[in-house]
Structure 1
């Protein structure tokens, strides 16, 4: 469908455009479906990287907890975690498909027109320059004339309130007549393109993040302060006293839908994102959530330094002594700071006591599981044999010495 804009006398006219259906980024998968698939791929892909580090004891110096803690403090098996995460992702995908069914078909072809709209707004905004300069005692007309005499025609036009008499274009009307009309300055189109292609998407992304953070903070906090909500729903997530990456979305199905699925859905809808933008938003939100539960405090991980909300910060919330603090997730800690729910106490000794307690339980289990082993000794005095008992000790769970890096502890 083609559209024609009318020509006005003082503003450059808007270009015509023809709309067409946006082709999928990855054919034949529709963009709205791909925006649901990518977060799942990101979730399990990143989780398996951290799981590989866990089982092979790589980067031990950056682990927040020891293998003994992982074995003794958690109250849920890895199989149960995988089962519940897959269930949540199925619900999340179905909800997204239902929402996408009612979405209008996305089109392309109007981009040049939309950039021109912003260029017109810039031209209109320049009209405020002369009266603004007059308020501080400056003569806009005189400044514009001086700038023009020195060869700065673009600056002169802006100082004159967006008057560029030398910048014109020829247009052919539907009647076949050719007319001369004002045109946009190159800087106006450059700035308008930056606004349309970068500034607005960045604003939408920031708005969506703010909505998700706000949504999750208040629901998360409510599920801790309201006993019924905690016991019925949120307590399941806190069976992981020692979080690990693929346990990030281990929740009660109701909580998973309310906090994660609905939260990101509301952020997507209210920010006015396209499906292409949703791919980034949903995927980055997922990656950030996994990273916050990874159990590592890496000094080179940008996600752990871009905001104060990281694995070390959220890990405090998973401890029994910090469970009523650090509610913010997944991006910023604005609400924790504003409403005074950020953990302010000592953590180093608390972490050390947790490690020592878990190690003692492992040592006790090892001593209880020692198995007697028979050893036959042949006497040099004759063929008679005697049997001696020797204990076989299994110490596979102790592992190497681990410690929480001092840089992530608040003394």
Structure 2
């Protein structure tokens, strides 16, 4: 007799496993200096140790898992509501796009507000910016309050407003997790589809982590529409690092400063 794993459990656990597996791949690739946006030695600029980053991420994932379990228990499973019929590709695509827009909208405005509110930045959001040189497994390194507000609540809203099922959520949140890790990986690898498809990518977010870009590029994790619409978009160019290593994301030459 086989052991059946519920979609709700998969929706809770799989994105966490995906986070560590995918970030682990980038950790293995991180010694490849020719693909790094910062030389590895510059990680010394970071204001937090890697063990502390791991602990912070695990804490956030614990909170996310608890909220996910609560959310699934409140909304009910597919089986309880007799919704086990197969969802069409078009419906799934609509739910994905809706969830992406909802998540982007929530995170843009909350993220931007945390930068402009001095109290919230100093006591909450500045924890994430201790990573001046981002790396993959630090993608979810946040203050617990920020993790709950931006990621957990934002994820819950995208799930509820898109109308996706727990089964669909397994794929959506795994995809969102992979994209978030990729944005923080610090590597510009040739052929990376995220860099080809999304303007919001590793270099785009790296600009935001630098002092000159801290008031720009708030959008995450998918599109850049809100940055463009509201004037917080900072374009970048990729140029060879002066140390002869990999590439460096710099502000575009034609950028007009405020």
TM above 0.5, one fold? yes
Q: Distance between the aligned counterparts of 2:116 and 2:138, measured in 1?
A: 23
Runs of 5+ in structure 1 lacking a partner?
1-25, 113-195, 356-400
In the alignment, is residue 318 of structure 1 matched against residue 197 of structure 2? Answer: no
- Larger relative contact order, structure 1 or 2 (CA cutoff 8 Å, min sep 6): 2
* Count of residues in Structure 1 that have an aligned counterpart in Structure 2: 250
More moved, 217-226 vs 199-208 = 199-208
- Contact conserved, 1:317 with 1:325, CA < 8 A, in 2? yes
SS at match of 2:88: helix
Normalized per residue, the structure richer in strand is 1
Greater Rg by CA: 1
Offset, 1:28: 2.9
Q: Distance between the aligned counterparts of 1:320 and 1:277, measured in 2?
A: 38
- Deviation track 1:216-268 (CA, whole Å, cap 9, x = no partner) reads 00000000011011011000000000000000000000000110011011000
Q: Distance between the aligned counterparts of 1:290 and 1:226, measured in 2?
A: 26
- Contact conserved, 1:62 with 1:405, CA < 8 A, in 2? no
Normalized per residue, the structure richer in helix is 2
Q: Distance between the aligned counterparts of 1:204 and 1:283, measured in 2?
A: 15
Q: Distance between the aligned counterparts of 1:343 and 1:104, measured in 2?
A: 42
In the alignment, is residue 38 of structure 1 matched against residue 14 of structure 2? Answer: yes
SS at match of 2:185: coil
In the alignment, is residue 294 of structure 1 matched against residue 137 of structure 2? Answer: no
Alignment of 1:16-55 (within 5 A): 27-54=3-30
**CA 1:405 to 1:61, structure 2 compared with 1: closer, same or farther past 3 Å?**
farther
In the alignment, is residue 105 of structure 1 matched against residue 71 of structure 2? Answer: no
Q: Distance between the aligned counterparts of 2:100 and 2:230, measured in 1?
A: 19
Q: Distance between the aligned counterparts of 1:289 and 1:198, measured in 2?
A: 24
Offset, 1:409: 6.7
Alignment of 1:144-223 (within 5 A): 197-223=88-114
Q: Distance between the aligned counterparts of 1:70 and 1:405, measured in 2?
A: 15
Q: TM-score of the superposition, structure 1-length normalised?
A: 0.58
Over the aligned positions, Cα root-mean-square deviation in angstroms equals 2.2
Offset, 1:104: 2.3
In the alignment, is residue 229 of structure 1 matched against residue 82 of structure 2? Answer: no
Offset, 1:301: 0.8
**CA 1:209 to 1:345, structure 2 compared with 1: closer, same or farther past 3 Å?**
closer
Offset, 1:103: 2.2
Q: Distance between the aligned counterparts of 1:262 and 1:206, measured in 2?
A: 18
Name which of 234, 246, 252 aligns with 1:410: 252
Runs of 5+ in structure 2 lacking a partner?
254-258
Q: Distance between the aligned counterparts of 1:289 and 1:105, measured in 2?
A: 27
Offset, 1:405: 5.5
